[in-house]
Amino acid sequence: MSQSEIEILFVSHKYPPSVGGMEKQSFELINTAALYLKAHTLVYDNKESILTFFLQLNRRILTKVKENPGIKLIHFNDGLIASAASFHKGYRHIKRAVTIHGLDIVFPFSYFQKKVIPRFNAFDRIIAVSQATAEAAQLRGIDPSKIITIPNGVDPIQVPAQVTETNSVSKPYFITLGRAVKRKGFSWLMKDVIPAIQGDFKLLMVGPFDHEPTWKERLLHLMPAKLYHLMTLFMGYPTDQQAIRKLLKAHPEKIQHLGKVPFEQLKSLLTNAQAFLMPNIEVAGDMEGFGLVCLEASTAGTIVVASELEGITSAVTHNGNGLLLASKNQNAWVEQLQAILADPAHYKKLGLQFKQNTLKQYSWDIMARSYCQSFLDLCQ
């Protein structure tokens, strides 16, 4: 059986018009895989409640399968929707695969870990986005013979021939990008690293950020600690905001949070930065599944300095397409960033070399073809 003869049903609740890393991965997988095989879809389009989508899913899958008897495999886009599908009935004769991204396998809710995760063994293939995610699945009792690792792809950031700075920053700067969740390590970087670096520079932070506490934040802080942890993990809530606000006030001359910025400005900010920083730290019950933002920064020609932690190591190889440092090692981080400030030309040249390595190793097409080959292997 060739790939072109395979019919796959892709089931996803993370899909445009919603915006996010998982939505992007799901979109690129489905649309690129459709170039190589016949793709059917059941995706959440925001035209109904997400609860309705989940409640109607079993019936809709059965309808799709009846209408398209050539479907040989059903792919679920993450562990959450796979958890629901593990209770479905009526299509167990069809091969089933699921992609796991990180948090959807380590989420520290006792019932989920003890009762739901073991049900993943009923799936025929578990596709992890990183080696760290694959190892987390194995530690939770998922059959290692069913697990393969397929890294995500990346959209290359197209930089104009003449890049102009759009933030009117006149001094050298480092940049971070992402939501203010604790695992990102932003407050640790602001507290333990940036004040210890000598020289005239700034740390620019980009991403969703509330400069003042919101009612939702105040409400969440009224919860017991364990419930707060579970709720904020499930919601992807920015748990580091409170600490970041205090540190912004403590170091206004060194650190600036820009919030969300237009994409054109972000491209310019990344391209002109001395380095892109991803200082992740360990947080119980959470993990960085892959580290896609590192690849995006690398495609802008900016050198990436990241923690050697979790799924980041599947996106960044030390001295291959970035620099990896031990998480929370203050001396290592200060020394490396000081060296970048001291010799920006060297590290800019290195960043451009790393960019070429990233472009060679990671693309949505490479990812999709790897998925298609996995599907072919299962269906033969």
- Nearest Cα neighbor of 288 from 270, 261, 306 is 306
Cβ-Cβ contacts under 8 Å for 380 (sequence gap 6 or more): 1
Write out the two tokens for 157. 């950031």
Coil, helix or strand at residue 125: strand
pTM: 0.87
Q: What pLDDT score does 274 carry?
A: 97
Q: What pLDDT score does 159 carry?
A: 65
Which residue segments constitute the domains of the chain, with CATH numbers given?
Answer: 3-153+363-379 (3.40.50.2000), 173-361 (3.40.50.2000)
> Using an 8 Å Cβ cutoff, are 143 and 122 in contact?
no
- Nearest Cα neighbor of 360 from 222, 216, 154 is 154
The packing angle between helices 344-361 and 292-299, to 10°, is 120
- Nearest Cα neighbor of 367 from 3, 25, 18 is 25
- Nearest Cα neighbor of 238 from 308, 286, 297, 275 is 286
Per-residue pLDDT of the chain (380 residues; tens, 9 = 90+): 455 578 999 999 988 877 777 888 999 999 999 999 999 999 998 889 999 999 999 999 999 999 999 999 999 999 999 999 999 999 999 999 999 999 889 989 899 999 999 999 999 999 999 999 999 999 999 999 999 999 999 988 776 555 444 455 679 999 999 999 999 999 999 999 999 999 999 999 999 998 888 888 888 788 888 888 887 787 778 889 999 999 999 999 999 999 999 988 999 999 999 999 999 999 988 899 888 899 999 999 999 999 999 999 999 999 999 999 999 999 999 999 999 999 999 999 999 999 999 999 999 999 999 999 999 999 88
Angle at the Cα of 130 from the Cα atoms of 129 and 136, rounded to 5 degrees? 105
